[in-house]
Chains A and B, each alone.
Chain A
C-alpha cells in the first residue's frame, strides 16, 4: 500500500529527472559547440580526434558495410525474384543504404567504437582529478575535451556514412551481380536512376545529427562520472560507459524516426 502511495511521487521524480537530463544534455551540447568558436587551439585537437573517431574506425565501417550490403543484396534478390523484378535490386540496395541503414549503422558502430572510448577516457580523467587540474590551469575542460570531439564527429560521421554507403553498394554488387548473376548494367543503371540528391542529403543530415547526439551523450556521461549515484570510482567509469552506449543507441533510433518523418 505504501508503495502504491509512493507511485505518483516516483513517476513525478522520474519525469522531472528525464526533463532535467534532456535540458542538461542540450546545455552541454550548446556549451560544447559555443566553445568551438572561442578555443584558440581547437584545430590540432580536432585533428587528433579525427584520427581517433574517423581513421581508426574506418576498418570496422568497411567490414560492416560490405557484409551489410551483401545481406541486403541477398535478401533483396529473393524478395524481388518473387515479383519478377530482380532488375530493381540496385535501387533497393542503394536507397536502403543511403536513406536508412548507412547513417544508422555507422552511428551505432561509431558509438560502440569511438563513443564508448570517449566516455571511458573522460570518466577516468574525472576520477583521477585530471579535469580539475585542467580547470585550475585555466584551461576550460569543455574546450579541451568536448569541443574538439564534437567538431571531429560532425566531420567524420557523414564521411564514414558515405564510405559505408559506397562499400555497401559494392557488397550488393558482389551478391547480386557476381553471385546471383543479375545484369551488371541494370544494377548500376537502377542506382543512378533511383537515387536523388535529396536522398544523399537526407542521409548526411541524419549522420550529422547522430554525430552531435552520440558525442554529446558520451562526453557528458564521462564528464559527470563523479556525480553518479549508483557507483563511484572505476565502477562509475564502467557504468558511465554502458549508459553512454545505451542512451546513444536509443537516441539514434528515436531521432532517426523523427528525422525520417521530416525528410520524407
Chain B
C-alpha cells in the first residue's frame, strides 16, 4: 500500500449512541483526487472528521498509510496529523487574526521563523489562491468564496501529503465554484504526491475534479471506484443522484390552510 492511502476498515461512526456511518469498507488512493459524494445528512462530513481524527469511531478503524490511525500513540498520531491540511466548510479562519497571520499560523506556532520569512510564506500561498492583496484583511472583511480560498491557503502552507476539503464549493456562485475547482486541480498539479479528498454534493465540481469516487447513502458506501464507472452505473439511487432527480418526481401536494388562519391571513394581506 502507498504511504498516504486512506482505508476505512468496517468503520462505524456516529454521535453519542446514534450511528451515522455503518460498516464502511473502502479505500481512497494516494496521490489522487477522491470525491466523497452523497446527499445531505448521509455522513460525508462525519467520515471526514474520522479521517482527521477529530472523532473516535464506534467500531472499526481508519488506516492511513497502512497504519491504524486510532491505535497510534500520541506522538505518532501527531506526526501523521502534521501531514494533513484541512479546508473546513466556511474556512474556519480565526476572526482575531489577519489573513497573513491566519495562513501562517501552522508555521508560526511550531517553527521559530523570523517575521519577514513568515510574511513571505503568507504572501506566497495567498498568491497561489489569488489573495495576495488581502493579506492584511480580517476574515469578516471577506466574501464566503475568499474565506474558503484563504482556508485553502492555510491548509497547504505546510505542504501536507493529504489535503481534505469539506464542501469547498457549497454556497458559492457557479463562477467562484469553478474557480475553486481550478484551484484544487492546480494544487494537485503542483503537489503531485498529495492525496486530495473532497467532500461534496456538487455534481459539476465532481465531474471537474474527481479521479476516484466514493458514494454514500444513509451511512453506507454504495459505490467506490472510477468516476466513469459511476457515470455508467445502474444503481437507481446513483442514477437519480447524477441526474439530479428527486425520486418523487418533484410533486408536492398543496394542503389547505385552516379556514380561520386563511381568513386572518387574507385580512392581514389586504390591510
Stretch at the interface among A13-21, A71-79, A129-137, A253-261: A129-137
Q: How far is the CA of A124 from the CA of B95 in the complex (A)?
A: 10
Is B232 part of the binding interface, using a Cβ–Cβ cutoff of 8 Å?
no
- B82, A138: Cβ atoms closer than 8 Å: yes
- B106, A138: Cβ atoms closer than 8 Å: yes
Expressed in whole angstroms, the minimum distance between the Cβ of A139 and any Cβ of chain B is 5
Expressed in whole angstroms, the minimum distance between the Cβ of B61 and any Cβ of chain A is 19
Output the nearest chain B residue to A140 by Cβ-Cβ distance: B109
List A contacts of B90 (CB < 8 A).
Answer: 128-129
- B88, A133: Cβ atoms closer than 8 Å: yes
- A138, B94: Cβ atoms closer than 8 Å: no
List B contacts of A133 (CB < 8 A).
Answer: 86, 88, 92-94, 154
Output the nearest chain B residue to A135 by Cβ-Cβ distance: B54
- A139, B54: Cβ atoms closer than 8 Å: no
Query: How many Cβ-Cβ contacts under 8 Å join chain A to chain B?
Result: 44
Expressed in whole angstroms, the minimum distance between the Cβ of A124 and any Cβ of chain B is 8
B88, B109, B154: residue with the most chain A Cβ atoms closer than 10 Å: B109
List A contacts of B81 (CB < 8 A).
Answer: 136, 138
Q: How far is the CA of A128 from the CA of B81 in the complex (A)?
A: 21
Cβ-neighbour of B84 out of A124, A125, A134, A136 (below 8 A): A136
- B92, A138: Cβ atoms closer than 8 Å: no
Is B78 part of the binding interface, using a Cβ–Cβ cutoff of 8 Å?
yes
List A contacts of B115 (CB < 8 A).
Answer: none
Expressed in whole angstroms, the minimum distance between the Cβ of B195 and any Cβ of chain A is 16
CB-CB under 8 A for A138 and B93, given A41-B109, A132-B54, A133-B88: no
Which B residues from 33 to 69 make CB contacts under 8 A with A? 52, 54
Q: How far is the CA of A136 from the CA of B90 in the complex (A)?
A: 15
A124, A130, A134, A139: residue with the most chain B Cβ atoms closer than 10 Å: A130
- A136, B89: Cβ atoms closer than 8 Å: no
Q: How far is the CA of A124 from the CA of B106 in the complex (A)?
A: 21
- A139, B105: Cβ atoms closer than 8 Å: yes
CB-CB under 8 A for A128 and B92, given A133-B86, A136-B84: yes
Q: How large is the interface on B (under 10, 10 to 19, 20 to 34, 35 or more residues)?
A: 10 to 19
Which B residues from 73 to 132 make CB contacts under 8 A with A? 78, 81-82, 84, 86, 88-90, 92-95, 105-106, 109-110
Output the nearest chain B residue to A144 by Cβ-Cβ distance: B109
Cβ-neighbour of B109 out of A128, A129, A136, A137 (below 8 A): A137
- B105, A129: Cβ atoms closer than 8 Å: no
Q: How far is the CA of A138 from the CA of B78 in the complex (A)?
A: 7
Q: How far is the CA of A124 from the CA of B92 in the complex (A)?
A: 11
Q: How far is the CA of A132 from the CA of B90 in the complex (A)?
A: 12
- B86, A136: Cβ atoms closer than 8 Å: yes
List B contacts of A130 (CB < 8 A).
Answer: 92-95
Q: How far is the CA of A135 from the CA of B81 in the complex (A)?
A: 9
Q: How far is the CA of A230 from the CA of B82 in the complex (A)?
A: 35
Q: How far is the CA of A226 from the CA of B90 in the complex (A)?
A: 17
Q: How far is the CA of A137 from the CA of B94 in the complex (A)?
A: 12
CB-CB under 8 A for A129 and B89, given A137-B105, A137-B109: yes
List B contacts of A135 (CB < 8 A).
Answer: 54
Residues of B within 8 A of A (CB): 52, 54, 78, 81-82, 84, 86, 88-90, 92-95, 105-106, 109-110, 154
Residues of A within 8 A of B (CB): 41, 124-125, 128-130, 132-139
Could you name 21 residue pairs across A and B whose Cβ atoms are closer than 8 Å?
A125-B95, A130-B92, A130-B95, A132-B54, A132-B88, A133-B92, A133-B94, A133-B154, A135-B54, A136-B52, A136-B54, A136-B84, A136-B86, A137-B105, A137-B109, A137-B154, A138-B81, A138-B106, A139-B105, A139-B106, A139-B109
